């Protein structure tokens, strides 16, 4: 069948799945009992073993740059009476500790075969649901800024919603593999997973954490889309989600105020209220111009821009490194998403559908969350409490992000082993 004759959804699905495929690079495809490669040269590439080194180095670059920027953005926080008891290196040391812990966790996750992740998908999903219930129990969940999202672990805190993103991804990929034969039937294919995600959404909204629920919903939708769900079902689910989130915003006064502040952040009413973070983020990026004011030279981080080391780290990057720095960060995230999409496409071509959907799901997750955070910092989207993956301060997020990246690297390693004639 020619490409022109393909339905629109199928062509769009092929484009998204092949988003990261390098030009002219063929994909491995299992034919019968053997494995061949669709490439113009017909030969295997010279480097098919080991792991994806460029993916590792781009990830490490983002992590180290994030560490430097967290220190730069938080160094002046002790001047604020609210942080008077902290040292100037408090957030730097804690972020570095979480990076070490996350690195160990990533090494452990890398050792786990994808077959094991597939078996553990449903138990892990139920475990994350239990943690989301646990965090709502008084004296167990920690309340910060009116939200109950953390569980205290001695000197550290863990955010169950970050784990939920990863477990939903695994659960959705496993679900699509199990339901491949009925994916054309709405009630048998989609409704059970939709109900599971809705239960998780109710728990997240009770914290409240609408941002995490949005990311989880997009991850589930992305895997449904890439898994080949019927186009009518996909658009029906998308419509339901849009209506649901619109009603959530309409029913909440402070969420409505955020939307109004986004539409007119410079008004006298909003500039010192709901639009305060947005206006100072725009001021910071505007000060940076093309080349920035230099590392450490940000003025907005001097207690003008709230949460500069978490949600608004990109604004500090924009002020200190200018347009060049912002474009570089965007480019690296774009490359990460492309590469993970390609690894997922390789796995699916090798008849490893679960592994392929997991890799592409991580790409959807990282790409969407980075897009939202960047859009908020640049004033293109309403303010939402989502961090910049791999870079912003936040131990739980760093730990889970690196574990997810390790799983993608494991998928790539298993792909290379299969292409080389081995077994996984």
Three-class SS of residue 392? coil
Report yes or no on 85 lying in a domain.
yes
What are the CA-CA distances from residue 298 to residues 289, 314, 316, 351, 373 (Å)?
12, 12, 7, 50, 19
Residue 263, classified by CB atoms within 10 Å of its CB into exposed (0-12), middle (13-18) or buried (19+), is: exposed
The answer to whether position 13 is within a domain reads: no
What are the structure tokens assigned to 149, written together?
Answer: 């999202």
327 in a structural domain: yes
Name the strand (E) or helix (H) holding 143.
strand 141-144
Query: 3: burial class by Cβ within 10 Å (0-12, 13-18, 19+)?
Result: exposed
Q: Does residue 12 lie within any of the structural domains?
A: no
Burial of 181 (0-12, 13-18, 19+ CB in 10 A): exposed
Residue 414 · residue 110 · CB < 8 Å: no
- Residue 296 neighbours by CB under 8 Å, 6+ apart: 72, 75, 320
> pLDDT tens track of the chain, all 424 residues?
444 444 555 656 665 656 655 544 444 443 333 444 433 333 344 344 577 899 999 999 999 999 999 999 999 888 888 787 888 899 999 999 999 999 999 999 999 999 999 999 999 999 999 999 999 988 888 877 777 888 887 777 889 999 999 999 999 999 888 876 655 566 666 778 888 888 998 999 888 888 899 999 999 988 988 887 767 777 877 888 888 888 888 887 778 888 888 888 888 778 777 888 889 999 999 999 999 999 999 999 988 888 889 999 999 999 999 999 999 999 999 999 999 999 999 999 999 999 999 999 999 999 999 999 999 999 888 888 789 999 999 889 999 999 999 999 999 999 999 888 777 7
Three-class SS state of 355: helix
Annotate 46-60 with DSSP letters as a single string.
S--SS--HHHHHHHH
d(CA 264, CA 116): 50
Helices (H), 112-185: 114-134, 160-178
Which pLDDT score, from 0 to 100, does residue 49 have? 53
- Per-residue pLDDT, 58: 96
Under 8 Å between Cβ of 163 and 131: yes
pLDDT of residue 9: 58
345: helix, strand or coil: helix
Closest CA to 387 of 65, 106, 66: 66
CA nearest 392: which of 163, 162, 165? Answer: 162
Nearest partner of 47 among 25, 29, 69, judged by Cα: 25
Domain-embedded: residue 217: yes
Domain around 229: 58-419
Helix or strand holding residue 149 (H, E): strand 147-153
Q: Rounded distance, CA 390 to CA 365, Å? A: 12
pLDDT at 31: 36
The answer to whether the peptide bond before residue 208 is cis (omega within 30 degrees of 0) is yes
Q: Is residue 50 part of a domain?
A: no
CA distance 378 to 67: 21
Closest CA to 227 of 288, 266, 175: 175
Closest to 337 (Cα-Cα) out of 363, 369, 376? 363
Tokens of 311: 């949600």
What's the pLDDT score for residue 17? 58
Give dist(CA 382, CA 248) in Å, integer: 15
Domain membership flag for residue 199: yes
pLDDT of residue 376: 92
The total of structural domains in the chain comes to: 1
Distance CA 347, CA 358 (A): 10
pTM of the entire structure?
0.86
Q: For 382, which DSSP code?
A: -
In a domain, 244, yes or no: yes
The span from the CA of 92 to the CA of 182, in Å, is 50
């Amino acid at each position: 069948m020619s490409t022109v004759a393909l339905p629109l959804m199928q062509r769009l699905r092929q484009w998204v799945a092949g988003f990261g495929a390098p030009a002219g690079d063929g994909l491995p495809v299992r034919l019968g009992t053997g494995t061949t490669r669709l490439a113009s040269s017909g030969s295997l590439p010279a480097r098919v073993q080991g792991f994806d080194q460029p993916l590792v180095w781009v990830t490490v670059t983002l992590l180290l740059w994030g560490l430097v920027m967290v220190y730069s953005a938080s160094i002046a926080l002790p001047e604020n009476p609210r942080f008077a008891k902290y040292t100037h290196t408090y957030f730097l040391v804690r972020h570095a500790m979480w990076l070490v812990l996350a690195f160990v966790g990533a090494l452990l996750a890398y050792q786990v075969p994808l077959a094991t992740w597939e078996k553990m998908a449903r138990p892990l999903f139920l475990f994350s649901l239990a943690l989301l219930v646990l965090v709502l129990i008084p004296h167990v969940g920690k309340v910060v800024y009116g939200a109950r999202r953390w569980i205290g672990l001695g000197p550290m805190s863990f955010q169950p919603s970050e784990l939920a993103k990863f477990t939903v991804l695994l659960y959705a990929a496993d679900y699509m593999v199990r339901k491949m034969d009925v994916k054309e039937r709405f009630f048998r294919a989609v409704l059970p997973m939709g109900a599971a995600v809705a239960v998780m959404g109710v728990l997240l909204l009770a914290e409240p954490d609408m941002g995490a629920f949005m990311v989880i919903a997009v991850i589930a939708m992305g895997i449904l889309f890439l898994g080949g769900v019927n186009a009518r079902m996909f658009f029906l689910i998308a419509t339901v989600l849009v209506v649901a989130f619109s009603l959530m915003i309409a029913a909440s006064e402070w969420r409505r105020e955020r939307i109004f502040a986004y539409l007119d952040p410079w008004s006298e009413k909003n500039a010192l209220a709901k639009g305060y973070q947005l206006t100072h983020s725009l001021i910071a990026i505007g000060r940076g111009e093309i080349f920035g004011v230099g590392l450490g030279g940000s003025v907005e981080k001097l207690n003008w821009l709230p949460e500069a080391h978490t949600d608004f780290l990109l604004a500090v990057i924009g002020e200190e490194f200018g347009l060049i720095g912002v474009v570089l960060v965007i480019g690296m995230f774009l490359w990460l998403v492309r590469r993970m999409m390609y690894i997922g496409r390789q796995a699916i071509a090798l008849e490893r559908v679960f592994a392929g959907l997991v890799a592409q799901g991580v790409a959807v997750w990282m790409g969407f969350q980075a897009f939202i955070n960047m859009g908020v910092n640049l004033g293109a989207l309403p303010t939402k409490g989502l961090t910049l993956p791999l870079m912003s301060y936040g131990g739980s997020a760093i730990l889970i992000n690196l574990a997810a990246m390790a799983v993608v690297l494991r998928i790539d390693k298993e792909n290379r082993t299969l292409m080389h004639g081995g077994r996984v």
